[in-house]
A and B are shown apart, each in its own frame.
Chain A
Amino acid sequence: MKQEGNALGGLGSAAKTFLLILYALFALFPLLWMLILSFKPDSEMFTTTFIFTPTLENFRAVFAESDFLRTLWNNLVVSVLAVGLSLVAGVPAAYALGRFDFKGKEDIAFTLLSFKFAPEILVIIPLYLIYQQLHLIDSIVGLIWVYQLISLPLLIWILRGFFEDLSKDMEAAAQLDGYSWWQVFFKMPLPLVKPGLVAAGLLCFIFCWNAFTFALLLGGGNTRTSTVSMTRFLASDTVHYGWVAAAALICALPEIILALLIQKHLVRGLSFGVVKG
């Protein structure tokens, strides 16, 4: 896709580059600053800016003085399984909502979205009591379940739009050829909405991975996620900003790796001529 459809097409390419770089500065400088902090010794945290003796002490401390690795693993297990569950449950739902006309369709779609309307604290207080009864406090299953609130509505609503955009003719043809509903689903629409699937999956993973309130209040010693354990470096008597920065960077690594892996799929296979064309 070239710049034909671009509102900014009138702008010179120098102006475009300038705007992009301006935004990139805003978006990336704080991260660069975090990177610098993570290599800074505590003693030089506020006394110097760019010139200092770099140290790996912060990273060592993060791994040594806490069970950070275990919380990282917890986060990975909970987030991957939560997104997996959302995909299994949400993709067929998005397909049904995007492709079929049936009574009450809009109401159902809205109800699924409405599970995200309630502020997290409103949900947590009673949910805590219910989880206690069900023995789900501080359990992987409990967290995966509550994370569905974060990922499932997002996934369904993003994907639904992509399914709506597909041409219906192909599936009609496939159905005439005698394929069942599910066969058609796996053969035709699913591969075509891959960019949407990939983008939605990535976003769901990021939001689950960074979920703080649910993990803090419904998790516990056994299931503490790295997002929660990071902030504990702040709560101690002396605040170790370097540790927090190092931990935050380590914590962002899985997301970055996933985004890089997925990037290829985001770019490739999108310029399918079949879509709507």
Chain B
Amino acid sequence: MQPFIALAPSFLLTIGILIPVIVAIFYSFTDLTLRSSEFNIIGIGNFVDTFTSPDFWHSVSITLGYAFWATGIEMVLGLGIALLLNEENWLSKFLRLVLIFPLMIAPVIGALVWQLMTNPSAGILRFPLSWIGLGGFRWSADSNYALFSVILIDIWIYTPFVVILALAGLRSLPKSPYEAALIDGGSAWFIFRNLTLPMLAPVLLIALIFRLMTSLQEFAIIFASTRGGPGDRTLSVAIAAYSQAFSFYNLAGSIPMLLFLWAFIYAVCFILISYWRKAQKISL
């Protein structure tokens, strides 16, 4: 019985969130706008409009690209940096302390600082770029590199998140398997591949899920740096839904997009976690 008592407070605290989601689903069948509190029930019109619009699917592809590259690079980079930091020398000790600082700057402000630094005419980064012949690089103002520029900010802010988790995981690893492997004379890569990585997998899975979830929903970074532009080059689903609701006052029309995002995140996490649990059962 105790497990359920231990779980009850967490459920009581978060269950309230189900109500807003259900209310939102109800609103998606109406023509509710920001302008008035009156509305009519119009059926599935909002869903049809959303899912038949090429703009929406464009936003989906932007969101997927953003989440894929941001999460992918953060995971690889974060794990690599954590391995490098997991050594006892003064540099690692010092950097363990300061490398998490980007995570501490509010994303809205972090994005702003990057916008200032990458400003093509006044930003500080125009100097080093001009030394390597990229003087005119326009970062997020260039429609070809806008998504890349925004993803870079995401990587800057959230790689430390992966580093912290991976480092905490590395530090709670048992020592005896390593001693055995060392006696057997395994190479560094062999030991990493067959000992460290499998033992670190649970922590890495959690980092992956949380990064994937938040990058699919990312709003603050994109909004503060490009607002979806230039054109629609960084117009993710979250940004598109926001402008539908608050720029075009079409509150109800924005909800199908957000519900789609919610369902997509649900499905991705469900698949990842069931796959993981299955893999664990086989290995036991």
Residues on A facing B (Cβ under 8 Å) = 1-10, 16-17, 19-21, 23-24, 26-28, 30-31, 33-34, 37, 46, 49, 85, 88-90, 92-93, 95-97, 100, 102, 105-106, 108, 110, 112-127, 129-130, 145, 148-149, 152-154, 156-158, 161-162, 164-165, 181, 195-196, 199, 202-203, 206, 209-210, 212-213, 227, 230-231, 234, 241, 244-245, 248, 251-252, 255-256, 259-260, 263, 266-267, 270-271, 273, 275-277
Contacts and interface: CB of A to CB of B under 8 A. Distances in A.
A145 B12 CA distance: 11
21 contacts: A5-B196, A7-B193, A93-B6, A106-B273, A113-B209, A116-B213, A117-B265, A119-B241, A121-B245, A122-B241, A123-B21, A164-B202, A210-B104, A210-B106, A212-B107, A212-B220, A231-B109, A266-B171, A267-B96, A270-B171, A271-B175
Contact of A8 (B6, B174, B188, B273): B188
A250 B258 CA distance: 34
Given A7-B193, A195-B171, A248 B97 contact: no
B14 A24 contact: no
Contact of A148 (B13, B95, B217, B255): B13
Looking at B13, B81, B107, B220, the one whose CB has the most chain A CB atoms below 10 A away is B13
Nearest to B17: A115
Contacts of A108: 7
Contacts of A277: 174-176
A123 to B, nearest CB: 5
A182 to B, nearest CB: 8
Interface residues of B, number: 108
Given A114-B269, A203-B164, 16 more contacts: A3-B87, A27-B160, A30-B102, A33-B124, A96-B3, A113-B273, A119-B219, A119-B258, A126-B24, A157-B210, A162-B172, A195-B172, A244-B109, A248-B106, A259-B97, A277-B176
Given A5-B191, A8-B83, A181-B2, A157 B206 contact: yes
Interface of B: 2-4, 6-7, 9-14, 16-17, 19-21, 23-24, 27, 77, 80-81, 83-88, 91-92, 95-110, 112-114, 116-117, 122, 124, 127, 156, 159-161, 164-165, 167-176, 178, 181-182, 187-189, 191-193, 195-197, 202-203, 206, 209-210, 213, 217, 219-220, 238, 241-242, 245, 251, 254-255, 258-259, 261-262, 265-266, 269-270, 273, 277
A156 B10 contact: yes
Contacts of A21: 91
Contacts of A162: 172
Contacts of A165: 172, 202
Question: Top 6 A-B pairs ranked by shortest CB distance?
Answer: A9-B188, A7-B192, A126-B23, A92-B6, A89-B9, A126-B20
Given A30-B102, A93-B10, A158-B165, A5 B217 contact: no
A237 B87 CA distance: 50
Contact of B2 (A49, A96, A196, A263): A96
Contacts, number: 296
Given A28-B101, A252-B105, A213 B219 contact: yes
Nearest to B88: A2
B106 A161 contact: no
B21 A126 contact: yes
A125 B22 CA distance: 12
A225 to B, nearest CB: 10
Contacts of B196: 5-7
Contact of B91 (A20, A106, A113, A129): A20
B97 A263 contact: yes
Nearest to A260: B97
